[in-house]
Amino acid sequence: MTAHRQFARHIRPVAAPRRRASARLWPARRLAAGLPGTVLGGAAAPRLPSVAEVVAAQAPPVPLHCLRPVTLEAASRRFVGAFPGSVLYAVKCNPQPAVLRALWAGGVRHFDAASAAEVALVRGLLPAARIHFMHPVKARPAIADACRGYGVRDFAVDSADEIAKVLEEAGGRPVGLMVRLALPKGGAVWDLSGKFGAPPAEAASLLRQARAVAGRCGLTFHVGSQCLDPGAWERALLLAGSVIAEAGTAPDVLDVGGGFPVPYDDAVPPPLDDFVAAIRRGVARLGLGPSTELWCEPGRALVAEAESVVVQVLARKGDALHVNDGIYGSLSDAGPPGFRFPVRPVAAIGGPWMPFTVFGPTCDSMDRLKEPWWLPAGIGEGDWIEVGNIGAYGQALRTGFNGFDRALLAEVRDGPVPVAAARPGARVA
């Protein structure tokens, strides 16, 4: 049996949920071709195929999600090693079981859950994990289930009512209350300032209240998703310092949230060390003692580059391409948000590189990517294109709209798809 046939028999299509809010991608067994071993989590494993080998074997007629477990493990090791505190993975970003296991293999031991379902998922897969319920507004049954059924002790809050709710549903069990501080609108690609968080004066009052009624208390904030400015954390920490001073009590936990960025075609952020250095400076100015724990909640920074999707061209009309995935599928961030995902043809295609308008497969005219893809001029119907960096929210936001609810999932050995600056012929403007 050829290697290509071996790859093909380990992939299968299955239906995705016909609703937004999936908890996982569709199950598929690991591809194993009997190639030389790689190491994942310290154990020898069969060497995985490349994206090109999977496409050649399967000729996928539906989107093919390509997961890179070695990239996931390396990203977690890098982040855990760099950050001077506890790293809480934001489960909502990509809740696939294979992702959670690879992050665990890379050293992540804490998980930021935002629903009862995420709590149950993590506890079922990783019994020894530390789970923190960091959604500031929760249903009573979710609090009770997390605390009483799964041993969760830390809960984010942003109001006195939420504090009372957590205490009542915990039923006398010791809890930690993490007060979410509202930040002014910032410069992150996804601004998160409008929905959660207490204004500074109220946050100080809530911190005093949490100190009086909880086993431990903390202060948390979020600068926004895909924040390219390390200084945003220093400014947020300055505001947090004023809240702590007004409260008159030092928190047991200071959580600097998520927002850590990754490269896209139009934005290559500073290195992680610059963000960590900014956080260190900001924390040092607060003069907190060694008993205050430092937390962060990365999502995108750990998983974005570890997953791609291979799409097929359904039709070419001049400088426009219709492909079999779009904004109702795994490319929602390429719609109105305008994320510029790195793209490349799977096989060599001739011609100079040029910009193409890209449409998704549904009958909705809104299914159109905001920014063009730069690809070789010879591309046409039947060709496959790999779209990188969809590991963050790509599968989590998929829908089954219009019946486009099928895909394949494979684990591959390739590194991340390079951004435009590293792809010959690619452009951004």
Least confident residue range of 7-11, 157-161, 353-357, 424-428: 7-11
The overall average pLDDT reported for the chain is: 88
277 exposure class (CB count in 10 Å sphere: 0-12, 13-18, 19+): middle
The larger pLDDT score, comparing residue 424 to residue 89, is at 89
Residue 212 neighbours by CB under 8 Å, 6+ apart:
none
Answer whether 15's CB lies under 8 Å from 4's CB. Answer: no
Supply the pLDDT for residue 168. 97
Whether 91 has a pLDDT exceeding 50, the answer reads: yes
- Residue 195, pLDDT score: 84
pLDDT of 375 > 60? The answer is: yes
pLDDT confidence tier of residue 335, bands split at 50, 70 and 90: confident
Predicted confidence (pLDDT) at residue 212 exceeds the cutoff of 80: yes
- Helix or strand (DSSP H, E) at 35: strand 35-40
Q: What is the mean pLDDT of residues 201-205?
A: 98
| Residue 427: pLDDT over 80 | no
Higher confidence at residue 423 or residue 301?
301
Residue 19 pLDDT: 38
Q: Please check the confidence at residue 392 and state whether its pLDDT lies above 60.
A: yes
- Give the mean pLDDT of 70-99: 97
The H or E element containing residue 243 is helix 231-247
Answer for the pair 354, 428: CB distance below 8 angstroms, yes or no: no
Compute the average pLDDT of residues 143-149. 97
Ranges 32-36, 106-110, 404-408, most confident: 106-110
pLDDT for res 27? 36
Residue 7 has a pLDDT of 47
The string over 92-108, giving b where at least 16 C-beta atoms fall within 10 Å of a residue's C-beta and e elsewhere, is: bbbbbbbbbbbbbbbeb
Render pLDDT for 35-56 as a digit per residue (tens, 0 to 9): 333 333 444 446 899 999 999 9
Count CB atoms within 10 A of the CB of residue 140.
11
Count other Cβ atoms within 10 Å, centred on residue 40: 18
131 by DSSP, 3-state: which?
strand
Using DSSP's 3-state secondary structure scheme, residue 392 falls into coil
SS3 percent helix, strand, coil of the chain, rounded to 5, is 30, 25, 45
Mean pLDDT value of segment 161-165: 98
- The residue with greater pLDDT, 21 or 157, is 157
Q: Report the topology of domain 70-302.
A: TIM Barrel (3.20.20)
Mean pLDDT of 47-75: 95
pLDDT at residue 268 greater than cutoff 70: yes
| Local structure of residue 147 (DSSP, 8 states) | I
Structure confidence at residue 194 as a pLDDT band (50, 70, 90) = confident
Give residue 422's pLDDT: 56
Looking at residue 190, its pLDDT comes to 60
pLDDT for residue 84 is more than 60: yes
Mean pLDDT computed over 398-424: 88
388 or 1, which is more confident? 388
First and final C-alpha spacing in the chain: 46
Residues serving a catalytic function are: 363
Give the model's pLDDT for residue 188: 62
Residue 233 CB contacts under 8 Å (≥ 6 apart), including other chains:
223, 256, 275, 278, 279, 282
Q: Is the pLDDT of residue 408 over 80?
A: yes
Span 3-68+305-422 CATH architecture: Beta Barrel (2.40)
pLDDT, position 169? 97
pLDDT at 156: 98
> pLDDT category, 332, cuts 50, 70, 90?
very high
Q: What is the pLDDT of residue 122?
A: 98
pLDDT computed for residue 428 by the predictor: 58
**Res 250 pLDDT > 60:** yes
Please determine, for residue 3, whether its predicted confidence score (pLDDT) is greater than 60: no
- Which of the two residues, 199 and 4, has the higher pLDDT score? 199
Question: What does the domain layout of the chain look like in residue ranges?
Answer: 3-68+305-422, 70-302
